[in-house]
Chain A
Amino acid sequence: MKIRVKNEDELDHYIICHKCHTLQKEVPIADGAKALCSQCGVVLYHRDSRLMDHGLALSMTGLIFFLLANAFPLVRIDILGSERFISITSMIASLIESGYYLVGLFVAYLIFIFPLMIFLLYILIFSLMKGGKGKTMTKDLLILLSRIQPWHMSDIFLISILVAIVKLFGMAEIHFGISFWALIVFVLIDTYITRSIHLGELWTLQKQVYRSKKENPACVRD
Chain B
Amino acid sequence: MCVIDTDDLIPCPVCEAVNIDKKKNNTCRRCGSAIHHHRSTPTEKSWAFLITAIICYIPANLYPMMLVDQFGSESGSTIMGGIMELWGHGDYPIALIILLASIFVPISKFLMLAYLLVSVRDPLRGEIRVNRHKVYYFTELIGPWSMVDVFVVGILAGLVHLNSVKIIAGTAATAFALSVIFTLLAAHAFDTKLIRGNR
Contacts and interface: CB of A to CB of B under 8 A. Distances in A.
Contacts of A23: 6, 9, 18
Interface string A1-26: 11111101101101110111101000
Interface residues of B, number: 64
B173 A11 contact: no
A207 to B, nearest CB: 8
A199 B16 contact: yes
A146 B15 contact: yes
Contacts of A3: 3-4, 6
Interface stretch (B41-49, B113-121, B122-130, B143-151): B143-151
A82 B165 CA distance: 11
B181 A106 contact: yes
Given A19-B133, A106-B181, A8 B29 contact: yes
B195 to A, nearest CB: 7
A5 B4 contact: yes
A181 B150 CA distance: 22
Contacts of B148: 156, 159-160, 163
Contact of A103 (B16, B173, B192): B173
Contact of A164 (B156, B162, B165, B169): B156
Nearest to A144: B14
Given A23-B6, A156-B145, A86 B17 contact: no
B116 to A, nearest CB: 13
A103 B162 contact: no
Contact of B17 (A2, A84, A203): A203
A186 B148 CA distance: 18
A185 to B, nearest CB: 19
Contact of B94 (A90, A142, A163): A163
Nearest to A170: B89
Nearest to A94: B158
Interface in B1-53: 1-7, 9-11, 14-20, 22, 29-33
A147 B14 contact: yes
Contacts of B137: 18-20
Interface stretch (A46-54, A61-69, A73-81): A73-81
A91 interface: yes
Given A19-B137, A84-B159, A98-B169, A11 B154 contact: no
Nearest to A106: B177
Contacts of A84: 159-162
Contact of B16 (A6, A164, A203): A203
B16 A200 contact: yes
Contacts of A14: 9, 18
B19 A95 contact: no
Contacts of A172: 160
Interface string A123-148: 00000000000000001001100110
A77 B11 CA distance: 49
A72 interface: no
A2 B4 CA distance: 6
A172 to B, nearest CB: 8
Residue of A21, A107, A150, A159 ringed by the most chain B CB atoms within 10 A: A21
B5 to A, nearest CB: 6
A1 B15 contact: no
A219 interface: yes
A82 B163 CA distance: 10
A61 B15 CA distance: 25
B131 interface: yes
